[in-house]
Amino acid sequence: MSLVRFETNPPYAEFLGIDIVRREVDGVEAHLPFKPELQNRKGDVHGGAIASLIDMSLGAASYADLGTSAAASTLSITVNYLNAAKGDLRCFARCVRRGRSIRFVEAEVLDDKDEVVAKAVATFKVFPGKPAE
């Protein structure tokens, strides 16, 4: 498998403004700063933007132990929206089961008032890539 390499985040993450600020084996933290383009008709952060934040965070958490040459593909994802999202968002994701090729991950999204706005679980297929040199 050959990966496309980017200087920073992938273009879609850049477009939305998603930034992974912490990537460690025990979990990932990502931020999505508020911008008017992400609003739905009610003025809340659109559920699709929240789902994208979650998906990118979960993906990063699924292969955090495998190094920078690894990648992952979403096999299934379930997002539960608990509250309307306003302002900047933070997503915390962690891998709860590490198989050789299939990983189970979970995430929680908080707004700038520390209210939980969404929770998610997902299954990812991981591609380990080349061993670190």
Average pLDDT rounded to a whole number, residues 94-106: 96
SS3 63: coil
The average pLDDT across 73-77 equals 97
Strand ordering across the sheet containing 19-24: 19-24, 27-32, 89-98, 102-110, 116-127, 71-81
Show me where the domains of the chain are located.
11-127
Mean pLDDT of 19-41: 95
Could you please state the CATH topology (level 3) that the domain comprising 11-127 is classified under. Thiol Ester Dehydrase; Chain A (3.10.129)
Average per-residue pLDDT for the chain: 91
